[in-house]
């Protein structure tokens, strides 16, 4: 079968209690302010006595499926079939 014996015996390990508590804090902060990205979330969650790694926060946010709310690219593209109206205040032929 070409499978290592260790794969058969592998038991996945869930998140630690510390990470689950941090995920609750992230969720609460994201609910209050959904526009925050990873860097700002890191600033809000980190305390001088309890430093956190930004990579850890990024991983947990990805695991939770959260994404900051902000204008995405290509918002200025016209919709298909949209009619462009002439600018009537400019002097000239219509």
| Number of structural domains the chain divides into | 1
Is the distance from CB of 35 to CB of 70 less than 8 angstroms? yes
Residue 74 within any structural domain of the chain:
no
Residue 73 within any structural domain of the chain:
no
Residue 53 within any structural domain of the chain:
yes
Residue 34 within any structural domain of the chain:
yes
Q: Which residues contact 46 (CB under 8 A, 6 or more apart)?
A: 52
Residue 52 within any structural domain of the chain:
yes
**Whole-prediction pTM:** 0.70
**CA 26, CA 55: separation in Å to the nearest integer?**
14
Residue 94 within any structural domain of the chain:
no
Characterize 41-70 residue by residue with b for buried, 16 or more Cβ atoms within 10 angstroms of its Cβ, and e for exposed: bbeebeeeeeeeeeeebeebbeeeebeeee
List pLDDT tens digits, range 39-89.
999 999 999 999 999 999 999 999 999 999 988 888 788 888 888 888 888
Could you list the residue range(s) of the whole structural domain that residue 23 is in? 15-64
Residue 46 within any structural domain of the chain:
yes
pLDDT, position 92: 62
């Amino acid at each position: 079968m070409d499978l290592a014996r260790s794969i058969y015996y592998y038991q996945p390990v869930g998140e630690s209690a510390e990470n689950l508590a941090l995920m609750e804090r992230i969720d609460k902060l994201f609910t209050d302010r959904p526009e925050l990205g990873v860097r700002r979330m890191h600033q809000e969650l980190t305390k001088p006595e309890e430093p956190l790694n930004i990579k850890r926060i990024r991983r947990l946010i990805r695991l939770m499926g959260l994404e900051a709310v902000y204008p995405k690219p290509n918002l200025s593209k016209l919709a298909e079939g949209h009619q462009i109206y002439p600018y009537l205040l400019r002097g000239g032929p219509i």
